Amino acid sequence: DAAGFGASGATAASAAAGSQGVGGEELVYDLYGVVNHFGGSGFGHYTAYCLSPGDGLWRLYDDSSVSVVKEGDEEASLVTSAAYVLFYRLRPRAGAAAAAAAANPHFAQA
C-alpha cells in the first residue's frame, strides 16, 4: 500500500522488530483510527476516520460532517499519504478473555 500501513492485521514485527507475546506468539494489531492532515506545516486541515465499535463501520469525521465509508472502500479511503496519526489496538488471542476470567473472577471484558 502507498502509505505503508494496512487497515487490519498489522503484525508487531512490521511495527517493532522483536515484539512478541508470551510464548513467542506473533502479536497482531488492528487499525481503529486515522487522523489525516492536509496542507503545510504552518496551516492545514485535519480529518479523521474511526471504526465504530457499535456497528463495525468506518466513519469519516470532517469538521461538522460525519459520513459512513462505503463498504469495500475502507482500504482505499484509509490508507493514504495524508495519514498523520494511526491508532491500533492489540487483537485479543483466541481464548485470552476466558483464561483471564478463569484466573480472576473480577475480570471484565471491555
Query: 24 pLDDT band (50/70/90 cuts)?
Result: confident
Tally of CB atoms within 10 A around 49: 23
Q: From the CB of residue 103, how many other CB atoms can be counted at a distance below 10 Å?
A: 8
Geometric angle at alpha carbon 56, from 52 and 62, rounded to 5°: 40
Residue % of the chain over a pLDDT of 70: 65
Alpha carbons 31 and 88: distance in angstroms, whole number: 4
Q: What is the pLDDT of residues 45-98, one digit of tens each?
A: 999 999 999 999 999 999 999 999 999 999 889 989 999 999 999 988 776 655
Strand partners, 34: 49, 86
- pLDDT score of 22 more than 50: yes
Q: Which residues contact 82 (CB under 8 A, 6 or more apart)?
A: 36, 37, 38, 47
Element (H, E) at 90: strand 83-90
Average pLDDT along the chain: 79
The three cell numbers of residue 104 are: 480472576
pLDDT value of residue 109: 47
Q: Is the pTM of this model over 0.75?
A: no
Pairing of strands 83-90, 65-68: unpaired
